[in-house]
Structure 1
Amino acid sequence: NTNPSIMKTTVGLILLALSSSWAYSTTQYSRRTLLQGLIATAGATISSSAATAEENLTDVYFGVGCFWHIQHEFIEAERSILGRTNKELSALAGYAGGSKTGKEGRVCYHNFQGIADYGRLGHGEVVGMKLPEAKISDFAKVYFDLFRNGERVDPMDRGGEYRSLIGLPGGMNHPLYPEVEKAGIAKGMKLVAGKGNDPDTIGKKLVYVYDTSEFPFYQAEVYHQFHDDFQSRPYGRSYNYIVNDLLEDGRIQGTGCPDRI
């Protein structure tokens, strides 16, 4: 049987290689579709007007396995908990937890050129968001609900790139960290301070907690954003095409990594 991690990397590289010459609609196909061709709700909903007036937004990130599925779940959480519209969504696939970057501060997915490979730099796949501080604990509950008996839903993916991690300003010293820890303990998880370049958490029921000032979030390439994953049915084009809104208003930027833009 083919290792899903190898399939994911291979398909990602194929998608990247083709993206420079394909039409935009083609690049939006999921990696699952390419692979076939080539071989919940937490908290109460607030009004959109209130969401627009959000204050005290805090940069956080969460990671547990492949970021495709995690991004989708947090997009749904932004809608249900914060009442955000497509024009207000903030959840982006990215990388964090490594102590190094490549040239010009780049952190990139595996690529043929070997540029700033996130795995070699010690980073893991995460989803970064801008959240009201008062809602961090709600999103922590969503995060821990993503685990299945203390493990990620894609245990076939192995390596530090897929470790479980959380990023908060100040890490474990964040004022709301006790609430995050409480949500984890309720699910049988142990939270420890991340040191950077940490190993896989598979089989340990463990989550690393990072200080975002020391271990910031790095946005992943455009072709990784709003994709379907291997664990679920396709999310549909209405989800896949959210990337258009974020590109248009600058919430998604070019990374300097090999990409389709």
Structure 2
Amino acid sequence: MLGTHSPSCGQRLEGSCWRGSAQPAAQLRQHQHHIPCSAARDTVASEGMAKAGVRQAAAAAMLAWAAVSFQPANAMSLPTPPQTHARPQTEDVTPVWFGNGCFWGRQKDFVDAEKGIGRKGENVSAVVGYAGGPKKAKRVCYYTGLPGSVYEDLGHAEVVQVDLKGNAEASEDQMRRFAETYFSQFRKTPKGMQRLDPQDAGPAYRNVVGIPGGVRSPLFKILEEQNVNKMQLVEGQGNVYQRGKPSEDDKVNVVYIMDSEKMSFHLAESYHQFHNGIGKPFPADYTRSQKQTAKKVGRIYSTGCPDLPF
């Protein structure tokens, strides 16, 4: 995330990773929300260590809010998300998605990339969400969701979705720009190319790209072209936990290429959209104005999942 990491990405709301002065409330424990313990591993990059305290404080605030806001599962009533959120379109649109770590700062990168190709206001398409999981669910939520809805448990990763618009030539040019942005979000290490927030570890933060047709898509050639540091581009089938082990884990120098027509994108909660980076506040025209515009045109909306007040 270009050094701007989420306090809520890479934290677990249960077990030994709880950093607060007391354990979470019973309601939270029964929901079994989690955040990878590897956030505290010794291999954390220097900028991640510097921001660890900020992320933990924010995670504690999220827990405190949730503890007084959530009721047991059998007493909770969440709105059912609308089945469709179609937006008027006057041109061909092909959604694609990219993931490599926490999606907060990543979204800002793709919004900037869109502005670089002339998109402004209502034409900016970048939104954050969850994708790359083979399991189906009525709704897909962050770790504060009910059992059976948590994105990591369903095999998804955090991603940013953007639209390719226009004819084939225009779409290929846009894909080239977005792929360039994506691969710029890695840095060289002795073990290969690593994303910029290795402290947020686990399958929920693995490197994924979703394009129609996956590795058999004409767009895959553009990914190969922009992959200047020769990361391993492997066909992804979606993560499944087998005896507690992920079939597609978070690996350095590896990007899973998914067929976006088989692996659906699920919009993330509103509070995740157009969010500040940790230690790097983004301009108000991004966090407020652009977010309000996205709401106005129906790009972001209530998903039926718990929406936190920050």
Q: TM bucket by the smaller chain?
A: 0.7 to 0.9
1:173 aligns with 2:216: yes
Q: TM-score, normalised by structure 2?
A: 0.65
Matches for 1:209-228 after TM superposition, within 5 Å:
209-228=257-276
Range that drifts further, 241-250 or 69-78: 241-250
- 1:88 corresponds in structure 2 to 123
State how 1:1-261 maps to structure 2 within 5 Å: 5-6=10-11, 11=58, 14-15=61-62, 18=65, 55-81=91-117, 83-102=118-137, 104=138, 106-111=139-144, 113-114=146-147, 116-132=149-165, 133-134=171-172, 135-149=174-188, 150-184=193-227, 186-197=228-239, 198-203=247-252, 205-230=253-278, 233-241=280-288, 242-259=290-307
The 1:69–1:207 alpha-carbon spacing in structure 2 relative to 1, beyond 3 Å, is same
CA positional deviation for 1:229: 2.1
Distance change (3 Å), C-alpha of 1:163 and 1:236: same
C-alpha distance in structure 1 between counterparts of 2:147 and 2:60, whole Å? 11
The answer for unaligned runs of 5 or more in structure 2 is 1-6, 12-51, 69-88, 166-170, 240-246
In the superposition, the TM-score normalised over structure 1's length comes to 0.77
Q: Is the 8 A contact 1:201 1:207 kept in 2?
A: no
Identity %: 39
Instruction: Give 2:105's aligned amino acid.
Output: H
Corresponding pairs, count: 223
When residues 223 and 178 of structure 1 are mapped into structure 2, their CA distance, relative to the original with a 3 A threshold, is same
SS in 2 for 1:151: strand
Structure 1 unaligned spans of 5+: 22-52
Once residues 247 and 13 of structure 1 are traced to their aligned partners in structure 2, the CA distance between those partners, rounded to angstroms, is 28
Q: 1:3 to 1:243 in 2, by over 3 A?
A: closer
Q: Larger radius of gyration, structure 1 or 2?
A: 2
Specify whether residues 128 and 9 from structure 1 end up closer, same or farther in structure 2 by C-alpha distance, changes over 3 A only: farther
Whole-angstrom CA distance in 1 between matches of 2:175 and 2:206: 21
Flag the 1:169–1:16 CA change in 2: closer, same or farther, 3 A: farther
> How many Å separate the matches in 2 of 1:194 and 1:166?
9
Give secondary structure in 1 for the equivalent of 2:160.
strand
